[in-house]
């Protein structure tokens, strides 16, 4: 993947020296990561490494004990998910948080419904907007009137991504976006991510899958025991290098100590 040009570009997100403890355990211990427009940064590590906790601080689910977050160069205070959304940060969790009994349009506008001048929910307008954004994101999507429970994993992922993009997300957090998807569905999500990058959206991608990260990401930040092992350009490392960082907690070249 092409290396993102960072010189003179302000990061979309710059998390500096972030710390948070739970019951005396340092879940995130002085971690710094950043993200640039049109870039995908993979966050890798075993369960309990701290990657999800770090990203929950950015999404407003947790508050850091110390450290600073800058969004588009401005110091940000994120105390809850509403603060994050106001900063154009949207999270797509592995569970997708979709209402299974509702169709794509109802899910896209869930809690933010379009209404007619009389104050009634405007189903036609919501479907029209959903068709418009899906035509850009996933032109093959046709099941506009089916409940999302009837959709495939990749189609459900499309709906969740469409919702974030429609509401002008500039920073997207994706938690295991290809988990439990087959090869075709994974390819669909991969193409969606490429489109988002082309729009200048920055993506933090949490994953356990090294192959996913090698394929989808520009850089990878590896965490172990709450600390940052290091951040590497994906083009410069191998699968084994990343594996070594995850297991041994050492950057490539340092493992020979």
Tell me the domain boundaries of the chain: 1-88+178-257, 98-169
Q: In what order do the strands lie in the sheet with 74-76?
A: 25-35, 13-22, 66-71, 74-76
Whole-model pTM: value is 0.86
Spacing of C-alpha 156 from chain mean position: 15
CATH architecture of 1-88+178-257: 3-Layer(aba) Sandwich (3.40)
Asked if 44 contacts 239 with a C-beta cutoff of 8 angstroms, the reply is no
| pLDDT for the residue 96 | 63
pLDDT tens across the length of the chain (257 residues) = 334 446 678 999 999 999 999 998 999 999 999 999 999 999 999 988 999 999 999 999 999 999 999 999 999 999 999 999 999 999 887 666 788 899 999 999 988 899 999 999 999 999 999 999 888 888 888 899 999 999 888 888 888 888 888 888 999 999 888 777 778 878 888 888 998 999 899 999 998 889 889 999 999 999 999 999 999 999 999 999 999 999 999 888 764 44
Residue 231, C-beta contacts closer than 8 angstroms, at least 6 positions apart: 33, 41, 219, 220, 221, 222
């Amino acid at each position: 993947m092409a290396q993102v040009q960072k010189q003179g570009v302000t990061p979309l997100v710059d998390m500096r020296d972030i710390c948070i403890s739970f019951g005396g355990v340092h879940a995130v211990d002085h971690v710094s990561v950043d993200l640039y427009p049109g870039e995908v940064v993979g966050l890798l590590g075993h369960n309990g490494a701290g990657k999800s906790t770090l990203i929950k601080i950015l999404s407003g689910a947790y508050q850091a004990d110390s450290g600073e977050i800058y969004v588009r160069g401005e110091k940000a205070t994120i105390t809850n998910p509403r603060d994050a959304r106001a900063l154009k940060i949207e999270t797509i969790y592995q569970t997708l948080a979709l209402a299974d009994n509702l169709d794509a349009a109802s899910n896209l506008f869930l809690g933010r419904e379009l209404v007619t001048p009389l104050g009634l929910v405007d189903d036609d307008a919501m479907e029209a907007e959903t068709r418009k954004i899906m035509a850009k994101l996933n032109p093959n999507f046709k099941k506009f009137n089916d409940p999302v429970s009837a959709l495939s994993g990749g189609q459900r992922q499309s709906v969740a991504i469409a919702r974030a993009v429609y509401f002008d997300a500039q920073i997207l957090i994706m938690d295991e976006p290809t988990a439990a998807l087959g090869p075709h569905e994974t390819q669909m999500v991969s193409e969606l991510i490429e489109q988002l990058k082309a729009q200048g959206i920055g993506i933090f991608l949490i994953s356990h899958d090294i192959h996913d990260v090698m394929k989808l990401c520009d850089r990878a930040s590896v965490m172990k025991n709450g600390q940052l092992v290091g951040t590497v350009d994906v083009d410069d490392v191998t699968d084994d290098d990343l594996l070594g960082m995850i297991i041994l907690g050492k950057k490539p070249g340092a493992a020979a100590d």
